[in-house]
């Protein structure tokens, strides 16, 4: 299903070297959780994320960000600002040697304040649409893939596609949630999560 507002970033030259990926939530996993982040100056990396992503890059494991974008649904900013923020993230990480291979996001909400974003969208986590779209695009086996998140909605989305799910104690640390989901593993942060994945 192609819905308005689903543009996908793919790193130029990205060609998956594996048939599985590590999916990352953005806020609270890669960057500090700032409630409703949309300003570039508020984007602040979680220090362990740099090393974690670099390790995945070195292991030639696809690194795919999947995030909900409530800031757009709430009309705090428009899609172009969200894209600017994501490009800022890509650039900041790249400058320090960490490459994001792709970014999928969902700006929809069934009760969005922005009338163009009102959709009960299957991409919005805990929906699985971003994961299945990425799997299709990059020929990934989701059952062999991993998702690292700080919210139960991330864990639930991963569980619903049979991925291995890891809850990190950064960001919301799973405490925000409206959903009930038990992760396969709990890790201190993205780096300990990645170390675990790469040790399997
Ligand atoms: Mg999060
Ligand atoms: Zn959507």
pLDDT tens figures, 22-81: 999 999 999 999 999 999 999 999 999 999 999 999 999 999 999 999 999 999 999 999
Q: Where are the beta strands (DSSP E) in 41-82?
A: 63-68
Question: What is the predicted pLDDT for the residue at 69?
Answer: 95
Binding residues for Mg(2+), as ranges, are 25, 27, 150
- Tell me which ligand sits closest to the C-alpha of residue 127: 2
Q: Are 197 and 53 in contact (CB under 8 A)?
A: no
Tokens of 77: 């900013």
Question: What is the predicted pLDDT for the residue at 3?
Answer: 58
Q: In sequence order, what are the residues at sequence separation of 6 or more whose Cβ sits closer than 8 angstroms to the Cβ of residue 178?
A: 152, 153
Q: How far is the CA of 126 from the centre of ligand 1 (A)?
A: 12
The pLDDT mean for the chain works out to: 95
Calpha distance 103→66 (Å, rounded): 6
pTM of the model: 0.96
Q: Is the peptide bond before 126 cis (omega within 30 degrees of 0)?
A: yes
Q: What is the DSSP letter of 120?
A: -
**Which residues, by Cβ under 5 Å, contact ligand 1, an ion?**
25, 27-28, 150-151, 171
Binning pLDDT at 50, 70 and 90, where does residue 139 land?
A: very high
Q: How far is the CA of 23 from the centre of ligand 2 (A)?
A: 17
Q: How far is the CA of 69 from the centre of ligand 2 (A)?
A: 9
- Give the helix/strand (H/E) hosting 102: strand 102-106
Within 13 Å and on the Cβ side, how many CA atoms surround 162?
8
Residue 25 designated active-site:
yes
Q: What is the DSSP letter of 114?
A: S
Pick from 72, 75, 151, 66: nearest CA to 107? 72
Question: What is the predicted pLDDT for the residue at 179?
Answer: 85
Question: What is the predicted pLDDT for the residue at 66?
Answer: 98
Mean pLDDT of 7-30: 97
Q: Which of 25, 42, 120, 184 is catalytic?
A: 25
Calpha distance 96→18 (Å, rounded): 24
Residue 27 designated active-site:
yes
Q: Write the class of the CATH domain 9-199.
A: alpha beta
Calpha distance 150→101 (Å, rounded): 20
Domain ranges (residues) in the chain: 9-199
Cα dihedral sign for 85, 76, 127, 183?
positive
Q: Are 140 and 19 in contact (CB under 8 A)?
A: yes
Calpha distance 154→67 (Å, rounded): 9
- Tell me which ligand sits closest to the C-alpha of residue 66: 1
Calculate what percentage of the chain has a pLDDT beyond 70.
98
> Residue 4 pLDDT more than 90?
no
Binning pLDDT at 50, 70 and 90, where does residue 1 land?
A: very low
> Residue 15 pLDDT more than 80?
yes
Mean pLDDT of 87-91: 98
Mean pLDDT of 141-145: 98
> Residue 116 pLDDT more than 70?
yes
Q: Are 123 and 129 in contact (CB under 8 A)?
A: yes
Residues 123-145 as b or e (16 or more Cβ within 10 Å = b):
bbbbbbbbbbbbbeebebebeeb
> Residue 182 pLDDT more than 90?
yes
């Amino acid at each position: 299903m192609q819905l308005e507002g689903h543009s996908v970033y793919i790193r130029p030259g990205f060609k998956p070297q594996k048939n599985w990926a590590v999916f990352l939530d953005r806020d609270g996993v890669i960057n500090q959780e700032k409630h409703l982040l949309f300003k570039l100056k508020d984007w602040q990396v979680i220090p362990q994320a740099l090393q974690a992503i670099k390790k995945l890059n070195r292991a030639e494991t696809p690194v795919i960000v999947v995030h909900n974008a409530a800031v757009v649904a709430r009309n705090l900013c428009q899609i172009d600002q969200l894209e600017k923020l994501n490009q800022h993230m890509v650039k900041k990480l790249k400058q320090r040697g960490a490459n994001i291979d792709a970014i999928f996001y969902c700006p929809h909400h069934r009760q969005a304040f922005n009338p163009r974003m009102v959709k009960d969208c299957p991409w919005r986590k805990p929906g699985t649409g971003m994961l299945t779209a990425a799997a299709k695009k990059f020929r990934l086996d989701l059952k062999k893939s991993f998702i690292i998140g700080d919210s139960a909605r991330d864990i639930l989305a991963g569980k619903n596609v049979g991925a291995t799910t890891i809850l990190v104690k950064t960001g919301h640390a799973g405490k925000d949630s409206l959903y009930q989901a038990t992760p396969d593993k709990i890790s201190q942060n993205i780096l300990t999560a990645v170390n675990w994945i790469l040790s399997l």
